Amino acid sequence: MSRRLLKHSFSLLHIDHVYLNHTWNYKHVISPYYRLYYIDAGEGCISNAQEKIILEPGFIYMIPSFTICNLKCPAFLSQYFIQFFEESPDGISLFQNNRTLMKLPASDIDIGNFKRILDINPGRGINRSDNPKVYEKNVYYREYQELNNRQNDGVYMETLGILLQLLSRFLGSRNSSLSSPHNIPSKVLDTMSYIQLQLKEPLTIAHLAQRVNQHPDYFSRQFLQFTGERPLLYIHEKRIERAQYLITTTSMPYIDIAAETGFDSLPHFSRTFKKVTGTTPHSYRKQHQSVNIV
């Protein structure tokens, strides 16, 4: 295992085998954790503005953290699901270059891993509701983190090992036309890492281009070619991802979150947050941190 992989840690949130129906129909879901699915019967779909993927038996699926999507089941869906958090010292996700909906044929090992991780982590389902607006609340995150703390070392290590195995299946999966990280020029990769680490600081195209000794126009074209996004849009998205994490996991005032994520004013932060997520910071916090069961 490479040192880069060893920097990341993963914390189990929910896991279960459920039977869904037409009430599983939620739009504009964007969560601070990953979703993994294995479908063994029925049909559903996950979608966003760019793509639509059918949920069908015999396939595994992944939705990276902070990836906006719609969830729908027309009639019946039998689904294994795993939800988990990712953490790394530098805040850079394994899937920072591929925030897309992913689908792969399920191998026998994949199916066995889904069933095994469920067997060793009983009682970790979503008992209140299948509506993200109900179960995506900070009080429930803390509750399931406490369950992780109670795991014995053997279960903890096996759970982490299974998550790494399942994640590894998607690291080579490219559902878009974007280049893999191995093909992205080193100066673009360096810039992406620099942005993630310097979100609090003023970031301009001129400054980023100067860092890698490129003309701003050439730098912008290269960044767009190999990431699929213009530099300023990429900066905004990463700042909002960081803001979502802070809103979900802390009680920091919005003005402090705006400053921590590099926005020069609260109105600018609020406008950008709504443009990226479709909701306001206040609504997002209310959804994720309310302690009242809906």
- Look up the CATH number of the domain holding residue 258: 1.10.10.60
Tell me the residue length of the chain.
294
Say whether both 15 and 120 belong to one domain. Answer: yes
Final residue in a domain of this structure, among 148, 171, 194 = 171
Q: Kindly give the parts of the chain with pLDDT less than 50.
A: 1-2, 4-5, 174-179, 181-182, 290-294
Output the pTM of the full model: 0.65
Say whether both 167 and 192 belong to one domain. Answer: no
Final residue in a domain of this structure, among 144, 171, 198 = 171
Say whether both 69 and 186 belong to one domain. Answer: no
Say whether both 86 and 214 belong to one domain. Answer: no
pLDDT of residue 16: 94
CATH code of the domain in which 56 resides: 2.60.120.10
Note whether 117 and 159 are within 8 A (CB). Answer: yes
* Cα–Cα distance for residue pair 105/59, rounded to 1 Å: 4
Final residue in a domain of this structure, among 141, 171, 201 = 171
Identify the CA nearest to 4 among candidates 150, 133, 182, 263.
Answer: 182
Say whether both 84 and 220 belong to one domain. Answer: no
Note whether 284 and 247 are within 8 A (CB). Answer: yes
Amino acid at 77: L
Paired with 231 in beta bridges are none
Structure tokens belonging to residue 117: 């991780």
Would you report the helix, strand and coil content of the chain in percent, each value rounded to 5?
Answer: 45, 20, 35
Cα angle for residues 101, 106, 109 (degrees, 5° grid): 125
Of all helices (H) and strands (E), which one includes residue 47? Answer: strand 44-47
Q: Do the domain assignments include residue 270?
A: yes
Q: Is 17 left (phi over 0), alpha (psi -120 to 50) or beta?
A: beta
Say whether both 104 and 48 belong to one domain. Answer: yes
Say whether both 113 and 203 belong to one domain. Answer: no
Identify the CA nearest to 72 among candidates 96, 52, 44.
Answer: 44
List of residues 6+ apart from 58 with CB closer than 8 A: 39, 105, 106
Q: Do the domain assignments include residue 294?
A: no
Say whether both 165 and 191 belong to one domain. Answer: no
Q: Do the domain assignments include residue 176?
A: no
Provide the domain count of the chain.
Answer: 2
Paired with 29 in beta bridges are 69
DSSP H stretches of helix in 7-152: 108-119, 132-135, 138-150
- DSSP for 142-177 reads HHHHHHHHHS-HHHHHHHHHHHHHHHHHHHT---SS
Compute how many other C-beta atoms are within 10 angstroms of the C-beta atom of residue 202: 8
Say whether both 53 and 160 belong to one domain. Answer: yes
pLDDT of residue 60: 97
Structure tokens belonging to residue 5: 């992989």
pLDDT of residue 216: 93
pLDDT of residue 50: 75
Range of the domain at 23: 3-171
Say whether both 202 and 164 belong to one domain. Answer: no
